[in-house]
Amino acid sequence: MYIIKDGAFMIQSVKRALEILEIFQGGVESLGISDIAARLGVSKSAAHALVTTLQKKDFLKRDDQSRRYELGFKVLQLGALFINQSPLGRAAQPWAVSLSEKFGEVVHISILAADAALIVHRYEPKDPFLLYPQPGSTMPIHSTAGGKVLLAFASPDIQKAILIKAPFPQKTVNTITKSRDLMRELKTIVKQGYAEDREETILGVACVGAPVRDKSGRVIAALSMTGSKARMEEKGWEEIIKAVKMTAMQISSALGYRMDMEIK
């Protein structure tokens, strides 16, 4: 059966199969047939047919004892393929590693995914401060530095679609929850070329992010560095901002972007 969404034809069975895989993005480890049927709004027999197909193609695997389904190895293979073949990853590798080693903090590359920041690459020092999110994880777009960078440089239509969802979840006492306050900050981010997260997502943790551009000048990702707020301030907040902006520009240059570098 075909359905039409946003002016495009979609095959309903394929759409539902992909929606099953997307359920696991929320941190779900395993699902039963009843769970899947309820989440998709379909019958158990329809859910079973979809799951069986995904299992046969190794996108899902079944635990024989619990009779529940988990992600299969094919998902990992495709994820690894994306990371290894990504021009963004190849361009970012030397610069992001250098930034991480210089300050001893974790560096992430994230992209816009619906209304969240999806981490696609991660670079860490030998002794990271915390167990930071891994590639494949999503982070709040309204409170993280990387997320705010992606939203600040997104199209007006995307911004509107996300801002209309306010009030946003309050992660800490410092989190921006109102759309007008976030819009004001987004304008500042565009003007200064970087975003900050000073305990807006996790108390005691801070982050600085900057835009990564492709050869056309379009912002395709955000580079961010995260660590203990106290430690990052001790190392020099302004120096970190300058380094993050410069590293993002170096990655952009490696992707073909050309513009006189101007680090304030």
Specify the CATH number for the domain of residue 132: 3.30.450.40
**Is the per-residue pLDDT at 202 higher than 80?**
yes
Q: Is residue 15 one of the residues assigned to a domain?
A: yes
Number of structural domains (the chain) is 2
Where do we find the tokens 């979840």? 169
Band of residue 59 on the pLDDT scale cut at 50, 70, 90: very high
Residue range 140-152: mean pLDDT, rounded: 98
End residue of a domain, out of 53, 75, 97: 75
Residue 262 falls within a domain, yes or no?
no
Q: Which residues, in sequence order, are CB contacts of 110 under 8 Å at separation 6+?
A: 117, 118, 119, 120, 139, 146, 147, 150, 221, 222, 224
Residue 36 lies in domain:
2-75
Domain annotation covers residue 250: yes
Asked if residue 155 and residue 55 are part of one domain, the reply reads no
104 and 220 co-located in one domain: yes
Q: Would you call 31 helix, strand, or coil by DSSP?
A: strand
- Looking at residue 37, its pLDDT comes to 94
* Domain edge (last residue) among 75, 110, 138: 75
Residues 65 and 112 in one domain: no
Task: Decide: pTM greater than 0.85.
Answer: no
The 10 Å Cβ neighbour count of residue 127 is 6
Quick check: 84 pLDDT over 80?
A: no
User: For residue 264, is it within any domain?
Assistant: no
Tell me which DSSP letter residue 26 carries.
G
The confidence band for 10, taking pLDDT boundaries of 50, 70 and 90, is confident
For residue 81, being part of any structural domain is answered with: no
137 falls within a domain = yes
pLDDT by residue (tens digit) across 110-130?
Answer: 999 989 999 989 998 877 666
Q: Does one domain contain both 26 and 91? A: no
User: Which domain-ending residue is among 45, 75, 105?
Assistant: 75
Segment 205-220 shows an average pLDDT of: 96
| Residue 94 included in any domain | yes
Return the pLDDT at 1: 54
Amino acid letter, residue 59: F
More confident residue, 2 or 222: 222
Write out pLDDT tens, residues 184-198: 999 999 999 999 999
- Based on the fold, state whether residues 101 and 53 are members of the same structural domain: no
Do 42 and 165 belong together in one domain? no
- Mean pLDDT value across residues 204-220: 96
